[in-house]
Amino acid sequence: MKKSTIWLLGIVMGLSFLSLLYLQISYIEEMVKMRNEQFDESVKRALMAASKEVESAEVDRWLREDISEAEKKAWEQTQGNGAVISTQRFTLTGPDGRVNQQVELKTFSGGSSFPRAMISRKHGTKTIPKTSRSLADMIKNRYLYQRALVDEVVWQMIYKASDRPIEERVNFKNLDQYIKSGLIDNGIELKYHFKVKDRDGREVYRCSDYSEEGDDNAYTQPLFLNDPPARMSVMQVHFPGRRDYIFDSVSFMIPSLIFTLVLLVTFIFTIYIVFRQKKLTEMKNDFINNMTHEFKTPISTISLAAQMLTDPAVGKSPAMFQHISGVINDETKRLRFQVEKVLQMSMFDRQKATLKMKEIDVNELIRGVVNTFALKVERYNGKIDTELLAEDPIVMADEMHLTNVIFNLMDNAVKYKRQEIDLQLTVTTRNEQGRLQIVIQDNGIGIKKENLKKIFDKFYRVHTGNLHDVKGFGLGLAYVKKIITDHKGSIRAESELGVGTKFIIALPLIKND
């Protein structure tokens, strides 16, 4: 698959996931907004109902207390003028004989007697019809009297009620019950706190368990809506758990949002893996191309040498025969070395290499590698110095693989030497912090900082510019890293472009293993 196609699919899928995530977040925001509005509306209805209950309680008190007081005064006044007070009770029954209603009639007058009914043959003025009309007139007058009392009380409530202190007008314990009942009726069962302020803004009451938490979102409601604005008292109610209450109502959307985020992260990781695998595929292709070229050269050389050996003239010249035999031997060794490089690839498919561990004297191992490698270094007018300063050089290691590690690092120093100066290679051992350190330092071309952290990656090769004679597959340092890691050690590189490179290996000692 082309890289552009992968990018296109990645962008389309990424935009799709982001759009889905945006829609979910927008939906949650709308739900939170709607729940806030519903909560606000429910609280306002509850507080309005509580306010009406307070007004109804005040009206009831006025009717029970003030009308009785006004009527009492009126009766006392009429009694002082010689009025006669009389109480009459009437029982209204239905056709079935059940009592439907009882009416009590109180009448008073200035000494005149109640109308009496008389039955006579001469039909005088005090007949039964006349008496009935008199009673109806008295009931009408009584109604008008009571209505006048109510009108008087209403006018007093309108003009005088707001002058009284709020503490005398409201029972705060009942107010708490009104608020609680109103909230429950509107579907809100949430802890709340409230306080009451008078018309001057002075706080006159707060609930016993009052807390300031959440009072920045307090709801304000006038207690008496008919009071003049300048004399209006208010109650303020706030809910400490309002925010949690709102978000709990939309919490069922949180798992969906989390799953979408997990899918988005998984998709991004998948795209990363795809690009990484594509890069590895390209590097493997480069590896195969390089491997083919590396195999082609020695095979061609051996084939050509074999053809020359068939020439009778070569057989007559011992020197030529020896030279061709040497070429075949060298190219065979070169081909064997390349095959071993390829076989090292199998190690990277295993979790851990199979190591034959035994006690190794690293100083002695390095002396043997240096003696073998000295001829190759001297061919380039180079020099190897050793500083084997480790007093305790014994480690548990695989001799063959550890030898290959030292050899690979020294071989890289030869490959990437500078042409203008002679190669100077230094191998040092020392004990530091309970571990054995092996330092291999050269004065080669060095490595750029941006490439330094990638040199241990499989198939990675640093670009060498115009150096076309440097061959390889990008497996050497990856192999070194794996072997050192399997030995429970560590390796790091320090380099400066144009100055040289230093590899530092740390291995655990036997006594600290």
Q: State residue 147's pLDDT score.
A: 62
What is the band of 111 on the pLDDT scale with cuts at 50, 70, 90? very low
Predicted confidence band of residue 25 (pLDDT cuts 50, 70, 90): confident
When pLDDT is cut at 50, 70 and 90, the band that residue 440 belongs to is very high
The most confident of 83-87, 108-112, 126-130, 463-467, by mean pLDDT: 126-130
Could you give the CA distance from residue 170 to residue 235 in angstroms, rounded to a whole number?
11
The answer to whether 138 and 104 are in contact (CB under 8 A) is: no
Average pLDDT rounded to a whole number, residues 432-439: 90
Q: Three-state secondary structure along 122-168?
A: CCCCCCHHHHHHHHHHHHHHHHHHHHHHHHHHHHHHHHHHHHCCHHH
Q: Put the strands of the sheet holding 500-508 in their side by side order.
A: 383-388, 424-432, 435-441, 500-508, 490-496
Residue 66 has pLDDT above 80, yes or no: no
Query: CA distances (Å), 436 to each of 73, 369, 389, 418, 456, in order?
Result: 115, 18, 10, 30, 21
Two tokens, residue 178: 């009104």
- Out of 67-76, 278-287, 345-354, give the one with best mean pLDDT: 278-287
Give the percent of the chain with pLDDT over 90.
Answer: 6
Q: How far apart are CA 277 and CA 440, in angstroms?
A: 33
pLDDT at 465 (0 to 100): 47
Residue 317 vs residue 384, higher pLDDT: 384
Give pLDDT, residue 112.
44
Band (pLDDT 50/70/90 cuts) for residue 345 is low
Cβ-Cβ contacts under 8 Å for 364 (sequence gap 6 or more): 393
Q: Which of 26-35, 127-136, 252-261 has the highest mean pLDDT?
A: 26-35
CA distances (Å), origin 414, targets 287, 346, 367, 443? 21, 26, 18, 10
Q: Name the more confident of 472 and 210.
A: 210
Backbone phi and psi for residue 420, each to the nearest 5 degrees, phi listed first: -80, -15
Q: What is the per-residue pLDDT for 436?
A: 92
SS3 94: coil
**36 — pLDDT class (breaks 50, 70, 90):** confident
> Which tokens go with 61?
């008190």
Which two three-digit tokens encode residue 223? 């207690």
For residue 89, the cross-strand partners are 104
> What's at 418, amino acid-wise?
R
Q: What is the mean pLDDT of residues 110-115?
A: 45
In whole angstroms, what separates CA 209 from the centre of its chain?
Answer: 34
pLDDT for 221? 87
66 vs 406, more confident: 406
Domains and CATH numbers, the chain: 42-79+103-249 (no CATH), 253-345 (1.10.287.130), 353-512 (3.30.565.10)
- Give 287's contacts (C-beta < 8 A, 6+ positions apart): 459, 473, 474, 475
Q: Which tokens in the block code for residue 69?
A: 């007081």
Residue of higher predicted confidence among 22 and 138:
22
Q: Does the pLDDT of residue 505 top 90, yes or no?
A: yes
User: pLDDT tens digit string along 319-337?
Assistant: 877 877 877 877 786 677 6
> How many angstroms separate the CA atoms of 323 and 464, rounded?
33
Query: In what order do the strands lie in the sheet containing 193-197?
Result: 203-206, 193-197, 234-238, 219-222
With helix as H, strand as E and coil as C, how does 267-326 read?
A: HHHHHHHHHHHHHHHHHHHHHHHHHHHHHHHHHHHHHHHHHHHCCHHHHHCHHHHHHHHH
Residue 408 scores a pLDDT above 70 = yes
Which residues, at least 6 apart from 101, have a Cβ–Cβ distance to it below 8 Å?
A: 91, 92
Which of 23-27, 33-37, 361-365, 411-415 tops mean pLDDT?
361-365
Q: Label residues 340-354 b or e (16+ Cβ within 10 Å = b).
A: ebeebbebeeeeebe
**Mean pLDDT computed over 381-394:** 88
Confidence band of 427 (pLDDT split at 50, 70, 90) = very high
Beta pairing partners, 474: none
pLDDT at 114: 45
Residues 171-197: tens digit of each pLDDT: 888 888 888 888 898 888 888 888 888
Q: CB of 114 within 8 A of CB of 106?
A: no
Q: How far apart are CA 294 and CA 440, in angstroms?
A: 27
Q: List, for residues 442-467, the tens digit of each pLDDT value.
A: 988 888 887 787 788 766 666 554 44
How far is residue 33's CA from residue 29's CA, in Å, rounded to a whole number? 6
Q: Which of 413, 412, 497, 411 has its CA nearest to residue 450?
A: 497
Collect all residues with Cβ–Cβ distance below 8 Å to 340 and sequence separation of at least 6: none
Distance CA 198, CA 175 (A): 15
Query: For residues 102 and 88, is the Cβ–Cβ distance under 8 A?
Result: no
Rounded to an integer, the average pLDDT of 111-131 is 50
Percentage of the chain exceeding pLDDT 70: 70
Average pLDDT of the chain is 76
Q: Is residue 244 classed as helix, strand or coil in its secondary structure?
A: helix
Report residue 489's pLDDT band, with 50, 70 and 90 as the boundaries.
very high
CB 17 within 8 A of CB 267: yes
